């Protein structure tokens, strides 16, 4: 068992005084049932607990996010991306695979951003302060998630080589420190930009983020406003312009770039040493920053706000061709320098540090630990899956056998199943968990509440597509049972046909036959008359259909056909033994007709059936049976004898005339 890194959170159950009463609980698929319980007095140190306790049963759910309206969009869209990724897995190979994976990662990120936007809109438009707080927290969580994901994309998915690495990191930093734009806009919109209090801050931040063109643009405003510093501005502008930058797609090699950069660095050094910028402390500090002076950079701490910004700026101006493996050293030292021992690293910082150190498992572990990962595994599950596709996760088996990716996906999907509508998404996730997915699906799918037939049909379709025959049978049986209880025999039959459940069809037919015996007529004729080939599902059902046909033939006065059918029902053993008496009684009117319907052969058959029926009863039963039974048998014997006589006579005499 992995060690517990944090203390479990305590949830108070309202209405139950946990100091004085005990609680009992039981686990469910996504939730827990809790209620108050009463132990004998002896356990509560002699105090008598009389009076009503809390009469409620509570459902405790850990995962609230599943029920958040805006996050549903996140779950849905990411489901689409996830399934697309799994499907395209087989087709990809080689170089295009990496590009494809980067695209997938970008898709995930854009979904997070969209959700963040919407959540932000909700936060500013709502008037309820509690909701607003909730939404704002969500926005923070989502933005942290996007930050982490972006970094993981750069380091693990893109696997940017030296040179490009810094460019991606710069983009990353620029994307996530957004106050810059508002500040700059304010400065530019003011009357006299260069006199604005934030002017130099704006220039500084541009330089810190490596946005040289924009810095130069601002600087030109200073130059035009302040002619005395024009000379310095021009030199600084020149330096910025000449800064060697490796662009993606350029054919420059790393060594070339390094040489140029060295050269440029020396030039800046020269200017600084000459005291060119001595009269303007702002420009001097900018020059120092360009030289990669850590102290100068650290002075702008408030502008950078985070240690990873510091890290990137530092790398930009001292080691632009940093290699991925070297990141960890710079990261650690940047963190230490930035925090200066004043504050301790936050959970987010540990995650980012783990990423810089290339410790994937550590990243995932840290994400799971801290609350910014959302209470429902969405983040870790999808991120781990993506990294798994990049073939970066070793098959690091957890103690119960499945690997990390599968474990996280299973947990996430299980969480989805507790929701009324999102369970359909969960099905796809289980499909892509090779080891335990099927088992989990089988267990969860049987527990989806089937309040309408339409939902049952959807569940059945899913089961049939996956060859889960047990579940199909079980669900059909549940629905059929419900139908029978509600007296919807037609529905029950259609469910048993779907499941090819002969036993249930027999049960339904017995119901019909019982109704007939009680009432003397059939209910639901529209069903029985139109059984069609489904009649063959069960013997009893066949009997029912044929029996009804007999009645119809009789009603249409097609007596000889009716007679033949009746006899066939008994001799072919289609009719259940309990029904033979009824069939024989039904034969009575045919026997008593003026014309002879049953031939001698047929009459012998009928007599044999009667004898079989009565022979089966013991002597005791014969005497216990009410007079009606014996009377019936007597009447039948008489009728059969009479018919036999007439038939023999008829067959004996009538020869062609």
Q: Which positions lie near another protein, rule CB under 8 A?
A: 69, 72-73, 76, 79-80, 83, 420-421, 424, 428, 451-454, 457-458, 461, 486-491, 493-494, 497, 523-524, 526-527, 530-534
101/527 with CB nearer another protein: 527
Spatial contact of 362 and 404, defined as CB atoms under 8 Å apart: no
Which of residues 176 and 488 has its CB atom nearest to another protein in the complex? 488
Dihedral, CA of residue 124, residue 126, residue 131 and residue 133, to nearest 10: 20
Are 550 and 584 in contact by the 8 Å Cβ rule? The answer is no
Q: Pick from 597, 615, 64: which is nearest to 374 by CA?
A: 64
The least CB distance from residue 524 to another protein, in Å, is: 4
First CA to last CA across the chain, in angstroms?
99
CA distance 42 to 26: 25
Nearer to another protein, 526 or 627 (CB): 526
Distance of CA 507 to the CA centre of its chain: 38
Residue 222 and residue 199 in contact, taking contact as beta carbons nearer than 8 Å: yes
- Minimum CB separation of residue 498 from another protein in Å reads 8
DSSP code per residue over 89-125? TTT--THHHHHHHHHHHHHHHHHHHHHHHHHHHHHHH
Q: Which helix (H) or strand (E) holds 34?
A: strand 31-37
The residue among 255 and 454 lying less far from another protein, judged by its C-beta, is: 454
Indicate the burial class of 492 (C-beta count within 10 angstroms; 0-12, 13-18, 19 or more): buried
Question: What is the C-alpha separation between 535 and 204, in angstroms, rounded?
Answer: 85
Residue 373: exposed, middle, or buried by beta-carbon count in 10 A (0-12, 13-18, 19+)?
buried
Largest CA distance in the chain: 145
Strand partners, 26: 33
Q: 76 vs 474, which CB is nearer to another protein?
A: 76
Q: What distance in Å separates the CA atoms of residue 186 and residue 199, rounded to the nearest whole number?
A: 9
Please, what is the minimum distance in Å from the beta carbon of residue 439 to another protein?
A: 23
Q: Least Å distance between CB 101 and another protein?
A: 20
Q: 70 vs 402, which CB is nearer to another protein?
A: 70
Half-sphere exposure of 75 (CA within 13 A, CB side): 27
Nearer to another protein, 95 or 519 (CB): 519
| Residue 549 CB, nearest approach to another protein (Å) | 16
Question: 370 vs 457, which CB is nearer to another protein?
Answer: 457
Q: Which is nearer to another protein, 129 or 449 (CB)?
A: 449
Residue closer to another protein by CB (options 11, 530) is 530
Could you tell me the strand order of the sheet in which 57-61 lies?
A: 22-27, 31-37, 57-61
DSSP one-letter code for 373: G
CB of 527 to another protein, least distance (A): 5
Residue 126, SS3?
A: coil
Instruction: Yes or no: say if 421 and 455 are a contact pair by the CB < 8 Å rule.
Output: no
Count the Cβ atoms, other than its own, within 10 Å of residue 367.
25
User: In the complex, what is the shortest distance from the CB of residue 530 to another protein, in angstroms, rounded to a whole number?
Assistant: 6
Minimum distance, C-beta of residue 265 to another protein, in the bound complex (Å)? 51
Shortest gap between Cβ of 442 and another protein (angstroms)? Answer: 20
> In the complex with another protein, which residue's Cβ is closer, 144 or 531?
531
Min dist. Cβ of residue 612 to another protein (A): 34
The CB-of-490 to another protein minimum distance in angstroms stands at 3
Residue 211 CA to residue 614 CA, distance in Å, equals 105
């Amino acid at each position: 068992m992995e060690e517990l890194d944090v203390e479990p959170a305590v949830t108070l159950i309202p209405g139950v005084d946990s100091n004085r009463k005990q609680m009992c609980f039981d686990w469910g698929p996504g939730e827990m049932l809790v209620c108050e319980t009463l132990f004998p007095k002896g356990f509560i140190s002699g105090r008598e607990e009389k009076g009503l306790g809390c009469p409620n049963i509570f459902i405790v759910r850990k995962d609230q996010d599943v029920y958040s309206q805006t996050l549903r969009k996140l779950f849905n869209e990411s489901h689409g991306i996830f399934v697309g990724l799994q499907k395209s897995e087989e087709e990809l190979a080689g170089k295009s695979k990496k590009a494809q994976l980067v695209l997938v990662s970008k898709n995930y990120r854009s979904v997070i951003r969209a959700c963040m936007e919407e959540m932000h809109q909700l936060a500013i438009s709502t008037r309820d302060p509690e909701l607003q707080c909730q939404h704002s927290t969500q926005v923070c969580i989502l933005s942290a998630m996007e930050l982490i994901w972006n970094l993981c994309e750069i380091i693990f998915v893109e696997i940017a080589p030296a040179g490009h690495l810094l460019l991606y990191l710069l983009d990353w930093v620029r994307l996530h420190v957004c106050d810059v734009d508002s500040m700059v806009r304010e400065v530019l919109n003011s009357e006299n930009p260069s006199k604005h209090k934030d002017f130099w801050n704006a220039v500084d931040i541009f330089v810190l983020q490596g946005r040289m063109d924009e810095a130069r643009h601002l600087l030109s405003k200073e130059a035009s406003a302040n002619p005395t510093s024009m000379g310095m501005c021009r030199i600084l502008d020149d330096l910025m312009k000449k800064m060697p930058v490796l662009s993606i797609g350029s054919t420059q090699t790393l060594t070339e770039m390094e040489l140029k950069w060295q050269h440029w660095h020396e030039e800046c050094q020269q200017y600084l040493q000459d005291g060119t910028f001595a009269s303007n402390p702002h420009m001097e500090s900018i020059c120092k920053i360009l030289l990669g002076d850590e102290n100068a950079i650290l002075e702008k701490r408030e502008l950078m706000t985070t240690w990873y910004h510091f890290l990137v700026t530092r790398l930009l101006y001292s080691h632009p061709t940093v290699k991925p493996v070297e990141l960890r050293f710079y990261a650690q030292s940047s963190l230490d320098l930035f925090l200066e021992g004043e504050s301790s690293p936050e959970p987010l910082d540990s995650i980012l540090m783990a990423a810089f150190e290339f410790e994937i498992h550590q990243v995932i572990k840290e994400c799971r630990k801290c609350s910014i990962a959302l209470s429902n595994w969405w983040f870790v599950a999808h991120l781990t899956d993506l990294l798994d596709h990049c073939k970066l996760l070793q098959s690091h088996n957890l103690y119960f056998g499945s690997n990390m990716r599968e474990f996280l996906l299973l947990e996430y999907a299980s969480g989805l199943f507790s929701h009324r509508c999102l369970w359909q998404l969960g099905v796809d996730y289980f499909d892509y968990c090779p080891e335990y997915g099927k088992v989990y699906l089988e267990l969860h799918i049987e527990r989806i509440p089937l309040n309408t037939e339409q939902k049952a049909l959807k569940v059945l379709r899913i089961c049939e597509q996956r060859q889960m025959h047990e579940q199909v049978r079980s669900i059909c049986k549940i629905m059929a049972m419900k139908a029978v209880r509600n007296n919807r025999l037609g529905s029950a039959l259609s469910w048993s046909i779907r499941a090819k459940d002969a036993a249930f069809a027999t049960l339904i037919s017995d119901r019909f036959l019982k109704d007939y015996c009680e009432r003397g007529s059939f209910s639901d004729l529209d069903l029985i008359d139109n059984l069609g080939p489904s009649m063959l599902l069960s013997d009893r059902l066949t009997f029912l259909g044929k029996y009804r046909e007999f009645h119809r033939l009789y009603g249409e006065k097609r007596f000889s056909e009716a007679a033949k059918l009746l006899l066939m029902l008994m001799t072919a053993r289609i009719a259940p033994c309990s029904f033979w008496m009824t069939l024989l009684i039904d034969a009575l009117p045919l026997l008593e007709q003026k014309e002879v319907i049953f031939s001698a052969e047929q009459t012998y058959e009928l007599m044999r059936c009667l004898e079989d029926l009565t022979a089966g009863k013991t002597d005791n039963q014969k005497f216990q049976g009410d007079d009606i039974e014996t009377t019936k048998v007597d009447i039948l014997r008489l009728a059969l004898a009479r018919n036999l006589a007439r038939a023999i006579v008829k067959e004996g005499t009538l020869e062609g005339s």
